[in-house]
């Protein structure tokens, strides 16, 4: 396996000699599940699915791969493949070959290379960071465009934040509501997504078509999703028609607080279950086969295999899925705005809707900005805590 991948490398001639010598070393390596990708597989990708078992095997040979084009003596820990493990260690990072191997005078090359990131940084700085700084300043003032210009606004310190956290019930309710929405939606999406993904581990006719079909909702614009479900939930709409068949006629989805909230949940689950399905399926497909075979030989039932062997290995993937979805659901706006506008009353008002109404209906810009920063702080904290167990995955970049 490993050798065939090396052969695919359109490597320059200098590499070829080394590649052939590598074959003999690498061939005893455990069979790996082939990963298909348009880009030719690189040596380091060999070990990404089962780094825990093949790290030892690979480590001694990697300096050879690396030295080939550079003729430079690299320390052992600078090998490409061990990056996943050394990503967290700053000291090893320093010794890593990224720059040094391009040109002998590594430091200069590094500085020249930095130029590449400058355009992006400038754009982000001017268009993204600058407004954020303005907003942060604003959140400490009592500014409102109906009264004065920003320069004349008086500095009120943490008053906005105090007001939000202690006195603003509508804000606190919006936060609670968004959290509830997140918990309910993510659980449902996870369960449905996992169920569908496990079905796709089997083989059946039309699998490709079903796979594409199940991903479709994700592609639809949030605004369109909101509008479509608004139509579906009309009192004379198709959902009520179907409910009437089982004796539940005349449901007014948008007049009842709980039902409106339920409508938002259904919409959101329909829209984003495919993401869980997709992520969990690719996670399931990259679970190495050997532990499963071992468990089967040892007499495990399929259920035990799934919960005791596969599921633990899926954990990082599951966390990534939850983090990504949680980030999006905290910001949820488009669907709800078109579906219910936050109504009836404030029954479906999420954080984003509240901030939007504060800023663009009531023109309390400073106050809205403060609310936004509170939300940002909470989300960063949440994402950070959630991602600690999987940060090696995110950093698996072998730079």
Partner 1 sequence: MLNRPLSPWQIPVLVLALIVVLFPIFWLVMTAIKPPIDWNASPAIWIPSEPTLINFQTLFDPDAIRAHGVGGVSQSATRAVLGSIMASLSSTFLAVALGLISAIGLSRYSRTNWATPLIILSGRMFPPAAIAVPFVIIFSMTNLMDTYPGLVAIYTAVTLPFSTWMLKSFVDDLPREMEEAAMLDGKSRLAAHLTITLPLIKGGLFSTTMLVFILNWSEYMFAQVLSNTKIATIPVQLAKYVTATAGTLYGVQAALAVLAMVPLIIGGYFIQGHLARGLTFGAIKK
Binding range to partner 1, per CB under 8 A, among 164-172, 183-191, 213-221, 254-262: 213-221
70 vs 173 by CB, closer to partner 1 = 70
Distance spanning both ends of the chain, measured CA to CA: 25
Binding range to partner 1, per CB under 8 A, among 161-169, 179-187, 256-264, 346-354: 346-354
Is 275 a binder of partner 1 (CB under 8 A)? yes
Q: Quote the CA–CA distance of 317 and 282 in Å, as a whole number.
A: 9
Site for partner 1 in 76-135 (CB under 8 A): 80, 88, 90, 93, 96, 98-99, 101-103, 109-110, 112-117, 119-121, 123-124, 126-128, 130-132, 134-135
Is 334 a binder of partner 1 (CB under 8 A)? yes
* 331 DSSP 8-state letter: T
Site for partner 1 in 306-325 (CB under 8 A): 317, 320-321, 324
SS in 3 state form for 287-320? Answer: CCHHHHHHHHHCCCCHHHHHHHHHHHHHHHHHHH
Q: Which residue has the tokens 């490709």?
A: 208
User: In the numeric block, which tokens belong to residue 11?
Assistant: 């490597």
In whole angstroms, how close is the CB of 312 to partner 1 at the nearest point? 15
Q: Which residue has the tokens 């909702």?
A: 217
Kindly give, in sequence order, each residue whose CB lies less than 8 Å from that of residue 177, ignoring residues fewer than 6 positions away.
261, 348, 349, 350
Binding mask 361-390 for partner 1 (x = CB under 8 A): ----x--xx-xxx-xx--xx--xx--x--x
Is 351 a binder of partner 1 (CB under 8 A)? yes
Cis omega (within 30 of 0) for bond into 2:
no
Q: Quote the CA–CA distance of 194 and 196 in Å, as a whole number.
A: 5
Is 333 a binder of partner 1 (CB under 8 A)? yes
Number of neighbouring beta carbons within 10 Å of residue 44? 19
Is 287 a binder of partner 1 (CB under 8 A)? yes
> Closest by alpha carbon to 274, among 212, 199, 324?
212
55 vs 286 by CB, closer to partner 1 = 286
Q: How many residues bind partner 1 (CB under 8 A)?
A: 143
The strand pairing partners of 155, in sequence order, are 141
User: In the numeric block, which tokens belong to residue 354?
Assistant: 């509240």
Q: Which of 54, 270, 347, 349 touches partner 1 (CB under 8 A)?
A: 270
Site for partner 1 in 129-168 (CB under 8 A): 130-132, 134-135, 138, 145, 150
25 vs 327 by CB, closer to partner 1 = 327
User: In the numeric block, which tokens belong to residue 248?
Assistant: 């539940």
Binding range to partner 1, per CB under 8 A, among 22-30, 179-187, 191-199, 255-263: 191-199
In whole angstroms, how close is the CB of 369 to partner 1 at the nearest point? 6
> Closest by alpha carbon to 97, among 79, 120, 113?
79
3 vs 379 by CB, closer to partner 1 = 379
Is 210 a binder of partner 1 (CB under 8 A)? yes
> Closest by alpha carbon to 82, among 52, 102, 40?
52
Q: Which of 14, 107, 290, 362 touches partner 1 (CB under 8 A)?
A: 14
Q: Quote the CA–CA distance of 315 and 390 in Å, as a whole number.
A: 9
Question: Do 338 and 194 form a contact (C-beta atoms < 8 A)?
Answer: no
Q: Which of 51, 78, 141, 398 touches partner 1 (CB under 8 A)?
A: 398
Is 241 a binder of partner 1 (CB under 8 A)? yes
Q: Which residue has the tokens 């009353």?
A: 345
Site for partner 1 in 20-59 (CB under 8 A): 35, 37-40, 42-45, 48
Q: Which of 180, 224, 294, 385 touches partner 1 (CB under 8 A)?
A: 224
């Amino acid at each position: 396996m490993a050798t065939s991948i090396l052969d695919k490398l359109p490597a320059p001639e200098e590499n070829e000699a080394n590649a052939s010598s590598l074959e003999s070393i690498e061939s005893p390596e455990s069979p790996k599940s082939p990963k298909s990708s348009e880009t030719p597989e690189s040596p380091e990708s060999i070990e990404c699915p089962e780094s825990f078992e093949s790290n030892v095997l690979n480590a001694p040979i990697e300096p050879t791969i690396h030295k080939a084009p550079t003729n430079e003596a690299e320390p052992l820990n600078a090998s490409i493949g061990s990056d996943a493990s050394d990503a967290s260690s700053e000291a090893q990072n320093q010794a890593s070959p990224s720059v040094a191997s391009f040109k002998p005078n590594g430091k200069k090359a590094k500085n020249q290379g930095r130029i590449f990131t400058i355009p992006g940084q400038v754009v982000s700085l001017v268009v993204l960071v600058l407004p954020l700084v303005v907003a942060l300043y604003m959140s400490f003032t009592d500014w409102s465009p109906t009264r004065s210009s920003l320069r004349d606004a008086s500095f009120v310190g943490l008053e906005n934040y105090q007001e939000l956290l202690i006195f603003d019930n509508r804000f606190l309710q919006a936060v609670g509501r968004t959290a509830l929405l997140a918990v309910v939606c993510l659980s449902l999406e996870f369960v449905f997504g996992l169920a569908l993904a496990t079905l796709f581990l089997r083989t059946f006719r039309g699998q490709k078509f079903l796979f594409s079909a199940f991903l479709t909702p994700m592609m639809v614009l949030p605004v369109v999703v909101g509008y479509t479900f608004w139509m579906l939930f009309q009192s004379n709409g198709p959902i009520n028609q179907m409910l009437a068949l089982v004796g539940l006629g005349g449901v007014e989805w948008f007049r009842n607080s709980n039902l409106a909230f339920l409508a938002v949940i259904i919409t959101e689950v329909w829209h984003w279950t495919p993401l869980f399905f997709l992520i969990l399926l690719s996670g399931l497909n990259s679970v190495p086969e050997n532990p499963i075979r071992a468990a089967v030989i040892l007499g495990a039932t399929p259920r035990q295999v799934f919960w005791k062997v596969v599921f633990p290995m899926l954990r990082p993937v599951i966390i990534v899925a939850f983090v990504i979805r949680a980030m999006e659901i905290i910001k949820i706006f488009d669907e709800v705005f078109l579906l219910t506008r936050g109504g009836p009353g404030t029954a479906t008002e999420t954080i984003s809707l509240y901030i939007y109404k504060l800023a663009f209906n009531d023109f309390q810009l400073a106050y809205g900005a403060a609310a936004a920063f509170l939300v940002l702080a909470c989300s960063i904290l949440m994402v950070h805590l959630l991602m600690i167990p999987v940060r090696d995955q995110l950093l698996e970049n072998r730079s």
